[in-house]
Amino acid sequence: MKKYLLTMYHPDTDGGVPPRDVLDKIMRDVRDIREDMKASGVWVYSGGLDSPNTATVLRLRGRDMITTDGPFVESKEHIGGLTIVQVPDLDVALVWARKLVQATGLPVEVRPFLEQSAS
């Protein structure tokens, strides 16, 4: 079984948050998908992230540690939430990602974790 990260991307727009009734339905649908994942035994973790302006980025410049408030790069979207599933292969991870896309209308990136070698 492999672990996959399902990353949801939110648009960086002034109107990025849908109206309350629409958002409530999306959140119910996402909770239902998470419960289906748990019942299927594939769910590892999921969570939403606060807005990008709450981020702090650390980077090394020479020997100095630089701390920057807010996102490091300008973009048109940001990571808004993530889910980790443990499934047999990419095809199964894509099935779950499609459900999240259908529920949220947001792009979802699917990426496998690197294999850990037994040491």
pLDDT digits (tens, 9 = 90+) for 70-92: 765 666 778 889 999 999 999 99
Does domain 2-112 match CATH 3.40.640.10?
Answer: no
* Confidence category of residue 119, pLDDT binned at 50, 70, 90: low
Q: By percentage, how much of the chain surpasses pLDDT 90?
A: 59
Do 110 and 94 touch, CB atoms closer than 8 A?
yes
Interval 32-60: pLDDT, tens: 999 999 999 999 999 988 888 888 888 89
The reported pTM is 0.83
What does the DSSP 8-state code read for residue 65? E
E strands, the chain, where?
Answer: 2-11, 43-48, 56-61, 64-69, 77-87, 108-112
Buried-exposed string 47-58: b where 16+ CB fall within 10 A, e elsewhere: eeeeebeeeeee
Paired with 48 in beta bridges are 81
Give CA–CA dist 76/29, Å, rounded.
25
- Checking if the pLDDT of 115 tops 90, the result is no
Per-residue pLDDT averaged across 3-11, rounded? 92
Give CA–CA dist 31/37, Å, rounded.
10
| Domain layout of the chain by residue ranges | 2-112
Give CA–CA dist 98/108, Å, rounded.
8
